[in-house]
């Protein structure tokens, strides 16, 4: 966030150009409500060719140029009693905002003093750590249907972006955070050293410039990343406070395969540069060769001695590789596509992908692809700008590292940007295919996706944080849209993106815009966890449908993570690589996809499924014979894969390989 003040499918337009320029404001086509005739046409069975091409609600690949009725529209308002609408997912439990983390007498409905923010997961699957503008909330999620509160930590200092690694937790700090986590504000004229401090537990007062600008020197100010020991999550203990020059709006963990003793933190600071009198080495002059702008800070964390954590470099990721100019990138004005008058000076968020040694940078005016072989000095491979984007906010890779999805936080997260009057490609996502190899990898535009349901003027709504849903053979993402709710969509083909599930509530208030909705929604160990800004924590489960089979859901639950922390840690901005075991249900998931796409004759699919069932139900010599027959079917499928192309060739090969590997295992 920036602090600025029925399963019918349809599609709007097709975009095929790199960095597409949107038409000027006033000329952008806004979908109008469908007529009765258009609705009837949409409900008619599609022609075989259309079915093969796919028709996706919220996609941008051709189809009805009108807005279909949506159950999410017109829901009853309310905080804890709002109307709800869902498709192919269910709410399994929720935790309301705990005492100590909300202000029952808040005078300003747009206040963020106690707003929930991001999530991280750890402690071997037992912990969900929820950030908050007032501190952190620790939940025990050992049983996702019976979540319990462990403790809260009062520690104001901005939005409180969080991560977890083993027994350590990390928290971003900006605004007027205090080293000791107190709520005391900045030095004020007329308040002597012996004056009484503010009331304990009160939110930190805002700094000049919306709380994120430069300020007078203050030796007690915290402006960077806190590190906590959470060995006992009921008693977190701060062990380090790493100061940076621009604070930390967000941060992302990253690993160096050659350095097992340390982890690293990429820090995205969006504040003004603090005074050198407060932190030595900070340089506010943007023209200085050692300026504290135009890059990200890199913190090194010794895992055995986290108290020794320190900034080890300032990576100038916007610099021109040939000229050395630090401020070499500019975005585009939304709507016109004209170059921005100001250079891009920092990132809102970066997502590391250690397995592929890649970094996706969502950097206000630009989207970046970087190589992280040298963790302390990431190397920019490509950068893009897009006239449909107002503010590049976050980035997500697909599991293969062949796509990079960027989200646009048009309106800053506190504005209602999903109304019927808004362009369908503004405030959503842009997917780019990563083409080429090595240093020649480049970003090629694929398509847009935005939540298709219209929201009201009292619902803050725009694309925000999400993660992959690890269904093998597909690229599926779950994403938060604030009060627009939760959306789940398939972007396996970047030019044909389809929404396949959703959950939404009515506005918190029908008459006034009260800030709320989902800050983030992430898939973790079979469930979807949603951080609701005003309402607490929601846990969902996807349900089988024509778009997602039970086999695919079961295969997703078997996926394990590698490349970023312990196997049961999850920090979405340090993206883990998913792997699936050689189990028949994984092969069945691939076969379901081939059946859905009609990429293999149904009798072949039936024979493979029957063969797996025979092996599962047999013993001794009968099992050996069943394995031999199934291996023959798998070998034929592998032969077909060699002659096929695209996603289905990959699925055929993966299904055959999974079956053959499973057949080598004892029963």
660 vs 185, higher pLDDT: 660
Query: Residue 565: which region, alpha, beta or left (left: phi > 0; alpha: psi -120 to 50)?
Result: left
Beta strand 116-122 with 518-524 is unpaired
CA dist., res. 210 & res. 79, Å (int) = 27
Among candidate residues 546, 528, 534, 473, the one with its CA nearest the CA of residue 505: 534
Bigger pLDDT: 538 vs 196: 538
* Span 191-234, pLDDT tens digits: 332 333 233 233 333 333 333 445 678 999 999 999 999 999 99
Lowest mean pLDDT among 3-17, 39-53, 121-135: 3-17
Q: What is the pLDDT of residues 407-437, one digit of tens each?
A: 999 999 999 999 999 999 999 999 999 999 9
Q: Which residue in the block uniquely carries the two structure tokens 């005078």?
A: 107
The yes-or-no verdict on residue 567 having pLDDT over 90 is no
* Percent residues over pLDDT 90 in the chain: 81
Residue 331: pLDDT above 70?
Answer: yes
Token pair 């362009």 is found at 423
Higher pLDDT, 122 or 204: 122
Which pLDDT does position 40 carry in this prediction?
Answer: 84
CB 83 within 8 A of CB 534: no
Tell me what pLDDT residue 59 has: 44
pTM of the predicted model as reported, rounded to 2 decimal places? 0.90
Question: 470-485: per-residue pLDDT in tens?
Answer: 999 999 999 999 999 9
How far is it, in rounded angstroms, from Cα 616 to Cα 605? 17
CA-closest candidate to residue 161, choices 148, 175, 151: 175
Cβ atoms of 659 and 634 closer than 8 Å: yes
What pLDDT was estimated at residue 542?
99
The tokens describing 572, both together, are 């979405």
pLDDT in tens, 336-392: 899 999 999 999 999 999 999 999 999 999 999 999 999 999 999 999 999 999 999
Q: What is the pLDDT of residue 651?
A: 98
For range 498-519, the mean pLDDT = 97
Question: What is the pLDDT at residue 47?
Answer: 57
Looking at the structure, give the CATH architecture of the domain made up of residues 92-185+223-327+337-579: 7 Propeller (2.130)
- DSSP-assigned letters across all residues of 105-160: T-S-TT--TT-EEEEEEETTTTEEEEEETTEEEEEE-SSTTS-EEEEEEE--SSS-
pLDDT tens digit sequence for 44-91: 775 544 444 443 444 433 345 789 899 999 999 999 999 999 999 999
The pairing of strands 379-384 and 366-371 is antiparallel
Give the per-residue pLDDT at 111.
84
pLDDT confidence of residue 462: 99
Whether the per-residue pLDDT at 487 is higher than 50: the answer is: yes
Q: Which of 80, 163, 82 is nearest to 117 (CA)?
A: 163
Map out the domains of the chain as residue ranges.
92-185+223-327+337-579, 584-663
Q: What is the mean pLDDT of residues 293-319?
A: 98
**Rounded distance between C-alpha atoms, residue 362 and residue 406, angstroms:** 7
Distances (CA, A) of 120 to 92, 195, 311, 664: 19, 39, 23, 37
pLDDT band at 18 (very low <50, low <70, confident <90, very high): very low
Average pLDDT over residues 638-644: 96
Average pLDDT value for residue range 277-281:
95
Q: Is 494 left (phi over 0), alpha (psi -120 to 50) or beta?
A: alpha
For 593-607, what is each residue's pLDDT tens digit? 999 999 999 999 999
Question: Quick one: average pLDDT of 308-315?
Answer: 98
**If you average pLDDT over every residue of the chain, what do you get?**
89
- 658-667 tens-digit pLDDT: 999 999 998 7
pLDDT of residue 240: 98
- pLDDT at residue 25 greater than cutoff 50: no
């Amino acid at each position: 966030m920036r602090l600025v003040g029925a399963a019918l499918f349809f599609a709007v337009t097709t975009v095929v150009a790199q960095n597409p320029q949107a038409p000027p404001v006033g000329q952008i086509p806004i979908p109008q409500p469908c007529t009765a005739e258009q609705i009837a046409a949409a409900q008619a069975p599609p022609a075989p060719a259309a079915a093969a091409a796919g028709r996706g609600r919220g996609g941008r690949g051709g189809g009805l140029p009108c807005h279909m009725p949506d159950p999410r529209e017109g829901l009853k308002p309310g905080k804890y009693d709002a109307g709800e609408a869902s498709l192919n997912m269910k709410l399994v439990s929720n935790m309301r905002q705990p005492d100590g983390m909300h202000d029952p007498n808040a005078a300003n409905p747009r206040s963020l003093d106690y707003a929930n923010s991001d999530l991280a997961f750890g402690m071997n699957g037992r912990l969900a750590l929820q950030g908050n503008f007032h501190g952190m909330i620790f939940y025990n999620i050992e049983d996702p249907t019976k979540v319990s509160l462990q403790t809260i930590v009062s520690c104001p200092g901005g939005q409180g972006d969080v991560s977890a690694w083993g027994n350590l937790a990390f928290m971003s700090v900006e605004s007027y955070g205090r080293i000791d986590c107190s709520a005391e504000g900045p030095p004020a004229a007329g308040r002597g050293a012996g004056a009484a401090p503010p009331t304990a537990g009160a939110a930190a007062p805002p700094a000049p410039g919306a709380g994120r600008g430069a300020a007078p020197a203050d030796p007690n100010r915290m402006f960077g990343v806190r590190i906590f020991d959470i060995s006992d999550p009921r008693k977190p203990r701060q062990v380090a406070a790493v100061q940076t020059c621009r604070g930390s709006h967000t941060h992302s963990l990253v690993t160096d395969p050659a350095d097992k003793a340390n982890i690293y933190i990429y820090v995205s600071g969006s504040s003004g540069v603090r005074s050198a009198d407060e932190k030595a080495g900070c340089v506010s002059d943007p023209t200085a060769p050692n300026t504290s702008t135009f890059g990200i800070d890199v913190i090194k964390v010794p895992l055995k001695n986290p108290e020794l954590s320190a900034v080890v470099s300032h990576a100038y990721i916007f610099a021109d590789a040939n000229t050395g100019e630090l401020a070499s990138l500019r975005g585009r004005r939304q709507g016109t596509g004209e170059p921005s008058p100001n250079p891009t000076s920092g990132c809102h968020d970066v997502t590391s992908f250690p397995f592929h040694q890649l970094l996706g940078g969502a950097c206000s005016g630009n989207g970046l692809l970087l190589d992280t072989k040298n963790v302390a000095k990431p190397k920019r491979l490509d950068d893009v700008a897009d006239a449909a984007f107002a503010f590049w906010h976050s980035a997500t890779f697909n599991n293969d590292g062949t796509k990079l999805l960027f989200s646009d936080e048009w309106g800053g997260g506190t504005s209602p940007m999903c109304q019927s009057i808004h362009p369908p490609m503004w405030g959503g996502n842009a997917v780019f295919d990563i083409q080429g190899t090595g240093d020649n990898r480049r970003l090629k535009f694929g398509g847009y996706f935005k939540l298709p349901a219209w929201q009201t003027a009292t619902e803050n709504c725009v694309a925000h944080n999400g993660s992959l849903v690890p269904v093998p053979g597909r690229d599926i993402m779950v994403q938060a849209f604030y009060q627009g709710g939760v959306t789940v969509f398939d972007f396996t083909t970047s030019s044909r993106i389809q929404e396949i599930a959703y959950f939404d509530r009515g506005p918190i208030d029908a008459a006034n815009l009260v800030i709320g909705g989902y800050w983030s929604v992430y898939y973790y160990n079979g469930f979807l966890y949603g951080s609701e800004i005003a309402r607490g924590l929601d846990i969902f489960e996807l349900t089988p449908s024509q778009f997602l089979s039970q086999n695919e859901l079961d295969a997703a639950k078997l996926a394990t993570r590698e490349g970023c922390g312990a196997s049961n840690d999850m920090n979405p901005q340090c993206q883990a690589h998913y792997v699936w075991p050689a189990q028949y249900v994984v092969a069945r998931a691939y076969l379901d996809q081939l059946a859905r796409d009609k990429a293999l004759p149904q009798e072949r699919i039936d024979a493979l499924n029957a063969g797996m069932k025979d092996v599962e139900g047999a013993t001794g010599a009968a099992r050996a014979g069943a394995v031999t027959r199934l291996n023959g079917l798998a070998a034929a499928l592998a032969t077909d894969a060699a002659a096929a192309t695209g996603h289905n060739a990959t699925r055929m090969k993966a299904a055959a390989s999974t079956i053959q590997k499973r057949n080598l295992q004892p029963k």
